[in-house]
Amino acid sequence: MPTSYPKCSPTEMQGLLVLLNAHKGSEDVALLADDLDLEIDEILPSLDFAAVLGFVRVTDGRATFTDLGRRYIASTIRDRKAILREQLRRTTLFKTLLRALENAPDRRLTDEQLTQLISITPAPADESVQNIVNWGRYAELIRYDAGQHVLVAARHTPGVAKPPSGNRPPPPPSTPLSPGAGTAAARKPAAPTSEPSGALDSVPA
């Protein structure tokens, strides 16, 4: 059963992680919010999602990268997606979704079938569907055929991305999916998109 329902997009979580990295990987949550000119409750969904995926820990109001979080932020975009895929696969929600896709005729799920699959969650079904599609597509776990309104599993070679080589410098903090750091623009999170929120459960220890 899902235990967490963070309302954020991949862009928003990525932006928060980039900001935390600019604060040397550990900072008071209130100061992070202040740096973004936001209220604390406005950054909590992104922080919750990062914690669900095992990228950060929050203790006594302070957010700190886990080893996995440091590895994630130091990786290339391609390797970040590989790490994210592995973490999403470990959640009950995506584990159930991918199993359903594997067992479905032609390995496809219609919008109606996906809605039925997540109907056991407390989150509104329409929001959950869109959120799952957004995260699944970003992590390249699934593909969505808008013409036929069906969900299809993407194929990947098993395994998690290796940590960046010590001889290779980490990528610059600004990525196509982050607001960047060290600029005026970095002080504001990505503008809200039409991506609704949805459900995700905690990654098993």
Query: What is the pairing mode between strands 56-59 and 62-65?
Result: antiparallel
Within a domain: 175:
yes
141-191 tens-digit pLDDT: 999 888 888 889 887 544 444 444 444 444 444 333 333 333 333 344 444
Can you tell me which residue has the tokens 């973490």? 87
Q: Are residues 54 and 95 in the same domain?
A: no
Q: Indicate if 107 and 149 belong to the same structural domain.
A: yes
53 lies in the same domain as 101: no
CATH number at residue 114: 1.10.10
**Lowest pLDDT segment from 13-17, 109-113, 115-119:** 115-119
- Token duo for residue 108: 């496809």
Q: What does the pLDDT look like over 112-151, one tens digit per residue? A: 888 888 776 655 556 667 777 889 999 999 998 888 888 8
Q: Is residue 109 part of a domain?
A: yes
Number of domains forming the structure of the chain: 2
Query: In terms of domains, do 56 and 94 share one?
Result: no
Residue 42 located in a structural domain: yes
pLDDT of the residue at 28: 97
Give the domain extent around 179. Answer: 10-74+170-187
Cα separation, 9 vs 198, in Å, equals 10
Local confidence band at 20 (pLDDT 50, 70, 90 cut-offs): very high
Average pLDDT for the chain: 77
Q: Please give the single-letter amino acid code of residue 4.
A: S
Evaluate whether residue 97 is within a structural domain. yes
- DSSP collapsed to 3 states, 76-112: CHHHHHHHHHHHHHCCHHHHHHHHHHHHCHHHEEEHH
- Residue 125: inside a domain: yes
The string of pLDDT tens digits covering residues 26-42 is 999 999 999 999 999 99
C-alpha angle 162-165-168 in degrees, rounded to nearest 5: 130
Indicate which CATH number applies to the domain containing 177.
1.10.10.10
pTM of the predicted protein model? 0.70
**Cα angle: 73, vertex 10, 116; to 5 degrees:** 135
End-to-end CA distance of the chain: 15
Residues 136 and 89 in one domain: yes
Residue 162 falls within a domain, yes or no? no
Residues 148, 181: one domain?
A: no
Q: Nearest-CA neighbor of 93 among 118, 115, 72?
A: 118
pLDDT tens, 73-101? Answer: 999 999 999 999 999 998 888 888 899 99
